[in-house]
Amino acid sequence: MASSGQTVVVNGEHGTIGVENPATGELISTVPVLDAADVAALAARARAAQPAWAARDIEARAAIFRRAQKWMFDNSERVLATVVSETGKTYEDANLTDLGYTAVALGFWAKRAGRYLRDERVPVRDNPLNLGKRAFIRHVPIGLVGVIGPWNYPLVNSFGDCIPAMMAGNSVILKPSEVTPLSSLLMVEMMEACGLPDGVFQVATGDGSTGAALIGEVDSIMFTGSTRTGRKVAVAAAERLIPCHLELGGKDPMIVLADADLDRAANAAAFYSMLNGGQICISIERAYVEAPVYDQFVGKVTDQIRKLRQGPPGGGVGTVDVGAVIFPPQAEIVDSHVRDAVAKGARVLTGGQRRPGAGRFYEPTVLVDVDHTMAAMTEETFGPTLPIMKVHSADEAVALANDSIYGLQASIWTKDLQRGEALARRLQSGVVTVNDALLNYTQLNLPMGGWKQSGLGTRHGADGIRKYTKTQSVMVTRFALKKELFMFPYKGWVSRSLLGFYRLLYGRGER
C-alpha cells in the first residue's frame, strides 16, 4: 500500500502478495493486502484532502499534471523497467502504450479539462414560462472516486482513468490488479514529486476483497476488467446507489473484404493480434475473410506470425516481439480455447502450445477451419492467438461479427471507404475502425466504450471526465413581471393561456 505524503498504517492482517516477473518466474516484490479497515483509513484521508483540491483553480491542478508528464519522460527507463518486470511484456509494448499513452494522457487532460468542465449555458427561449431567466449547467466534482484496474496495461487502464478523475477535482483511490501493483505505486511517487497534495491520490494494494472494500467507501467507481467481475461491481455499486462505469471484455472482430489491401490487412492482423501478447481488450481477437482472398491472407499472416521472436525481454530493446502471459490463469484459458477448437476440427498453422522452458509464454498461434461452435471464436481469449474464418459475403461477416455477447471494438478492411463506413454502421460495437485497428485509443477526444456485455459508459472525450462529476443545473431569474403570474389569483388565467400557447405551437403534430 502507498499513498502520497504521510504513510497510512496498514494492519497487514490480510498478509502480503508476492509480485512475480511472468517472463522469468522470479519474485520481484511483495505488497500488503489491504483490508476494509485499511481502505476506510485511506478514504478518510482522501475525503479530508478533496475540498481544498477541488477549490484550486483548474490551471493550478493542470500544472501538476504537466510536471508529471515531464517526470514520465525524465524517468522513462524506470517506468519501463517497472512495467516490464511485473508484466513480462516486451520493452516495445511497454514503451508504445504504457509509457506513451500515459504521458500523452497527462498532457491531454491538463489541456482539455477546463474546456470540458466549464459551465454550459442552456437556452431557455423555447418556453415562455422562463422568459427573463438564465440557465446553465455546472460540473461539480463527485468527491472520492475509486478506480479498479486490470493487469494487462497497469498504467493505461488504471492510472489512465485516475488522471481525468483528479483533474475534475476529486480524490482518487486506485486498486490495481494484484499481479501488477508496482507501476501504480510508482505513480504515487511521481504525483508526490510533482506536488500533488497529500491524500488526493492513493493506491490500495490487495486482491478482490480490497476492490470490494473500495466500492464500499467511494462516491463513484470506475472499473476495468472482466465482464464476470464487472457484473459483481455493478451489483455492489447499485447497493450503494453510486455511479459505476464499466470497461469490460471484448471479442474484437476484423472483417477483411475481397478488395482490401491484403498486405496492409495481413500486417495489421499479425501486429494487433499479437501486440502485448494479445492481452488487449481492443485487439484483433478473430478474423473473417472473404473467400476470394482467404488463402492469400492466411498465408501472409501465418508467415509473419511464425517468424515472431518470443522470450524474456531482458536482452534489451528490439530483441523479442511477443512477451509473456501476465496473469497465471490466462495461460490455461488460452490453451483451453486452442484445444477446444482443435477438438472441433480447427487446424493450428503455427504455435498452438505453451512455450517450453522458463517463464510463462504461449506460442503465437494461428487457427483456421474455425466456426462459432468454438470458444476461440465466441469467448474472450486474451492471448496470442488469431482464429481466421472464411466467409462468402460482407453480410455474412457482419452477421458473424455481431453474433457475440461483446461489442467493444471492430475493424473493417476495404479499399471502398464508403462501403467500409456503411458496414461500420451495421456493427454492434462501441468503436469501429476502417483500415486500421486500435489506434482510436490514442485519440483522446474520441469516446471509447463497449456495447452489450463489454461495458457501461465511455472513457476519453467529454464524458471521460464529466462522468467524474455531478451535474448541477442552475436557473437564475434576471427579471420578472411585477406581479407574479403564479400567485394564486392568476393561476387559472395562466394555465389557460399557456395551454393555448402550446396548442398554437405544437397542436399540429410533428413539423
Task: Enumerate the active-site residues.
Answer: 247, 281
Binding-residue pattern over the window 362 to 391 for ligand NDP, x denoting contact by CB under 6 A? ------------------x-x---------
Q: Which is nearer to ligand NDP, 294 or 441 (CB)?
A: 441
247 binds ligand NDP per the rule CB under 6 A: yes
Return d(Cα 379, Cα 399) in angstroms, integer.
Answer: 16
Check: CB of residue 268 under 8 Å from CB of residue 434. Answer: no
Sign of the alpha-carbon torsion through 324, 325, 327, 332: negative
Minimum Å distance from CB 179 to ligand NDP?
6
Check: CB of residue 249 under 8 Å from CB of residue 405. Answer: no
Q: Which residues of 137-163 are buried (b: 16+ CB within 10 A; e: fewer)?
A: eebebbbbbbbbbbbbbbbbbbbbbbb
Among 226, 336, 402, 435, binds ligand NDP (CB under 6 A): 226
Q: What is the DSSP pairing of strand 365-368 with strand 409-413? A: unpaired
Return d(Cα 247, Cα 160) in angstroms, integer.
Answer: 13
Among residues 126, 123, 145, the alpha carbon closest in space to that of 136 is found at 123
Q: Which is nearer to ligand NDP, 260 or 284 (CB)?
A: 284
Q: Which is nearer to ligand NDP, 22 or 149 (CB)?
A: 149
Residues 130-149 interacting with ligand NDP (rule: CB under 6 A): 148-149
Q: Which is nearer to ligand NDP, 224 or 378 (CB)?
A: 224
Residues 264-323 interacting with ligand NDP (rule: CB under 6 A): 281
- Written in H, E and C, the secondary structure of 311-355 is CCHHHCCCCCCECCCCCHHHHHHHHHHHHHHHHCCCEEEECCCEC
Return d(Cα 303, Cα 323) in angstroms, integer.
Answer: 19
Residue that is written with C-alpha cell 489491504 in the block? 34
414 binds ligand NDP per the rule CB under 6 A: no
Among residues 196, 201, 203, the alpha carbon closest in space to that of 171 is found at 201
Applying CB under 6 A, the span of 117-125, 207-215, 341-349, 501-509 interacting with ligand NDP comes to: 207-215
Q: Which is nearer to ligand NDP, 107 or 250 (CB)?
A: 250
Q: Which is nearer to ligand NDP, 289 or 375 (CB)?
A: 375
Binding-residue pattern over the window 431 to 470 for ligand NDP, x denoting contact by CB under 6 A? -------------------x----x---------------
- 3-class state of residue 479 by DSSP: coil
In one-letter notation, the amino acid at residue 334 is V
Q: Which residue, judged by CB position, is nearest to ligand NDP in the bound state?
A: 211
Applying CB under 6 A, the span of 127-135, 205-213, 291-299, 365-373 interacting with ligand NDP comes to: 205-213
177 binds ligand NDP per the rule CB under 6 A: yes
150 binds ligand NDP per the rule CB under 6 A: yes
Q: Which is nearer to ligand NDP, 92 or 380 (CB)?
A: 380
Applying CB under 6 A, the span of 222-230, 268-276, 353-361, 460-468 interacting with ligand NDP comes to: 222-230
Minimum Å distance from CB 148 to ligand NDP?
5
Q: What is the number of other CB atoms lying within 10 angstroms of the CB of residue 412? A: 31
197 binds ligand NDP per the rule CB under 6 A: no
Among 22, 225, 278, 364, binds ligand NDP (CB under 6 A): 225
Q: Which is nearer to ligand NDP, 226 or 428 (CB)?
A: 226
Minimum Å distance from CB 181 to ligand NDP?
8
Return d(Cα 16, Cα 370) in angstroms, integer.
Answer: 43
Among 248, 301, 341, 346, binds ligand NDP (CB under 6 A): 248
Return d(Cα 41, Cα 146) in angstroms, integer.
Answer: 14
Determine the size of the site formed for ligand NDP (CB under 6 A).
30
38 binds ligand NDP per the rule CB under 6 A: no
Return d(Cα 120, Cα 137) in angstroms, integer.
Answer: 5
Q: What is the DSSP pairing of strand 455-456 with strand 244-247? A: antiparallel
- CA dihedral 276→278→283→284, nearest 10 degrees, is 140
Q: Which residues bind ligand NDP (CB under 6 A)?
A: 148-152, 157, 175, 177-178, 207-208, 211-212, 224-226, 229, 232-233, 247-250, 281, 327, 380, 382, 408, 450, 455
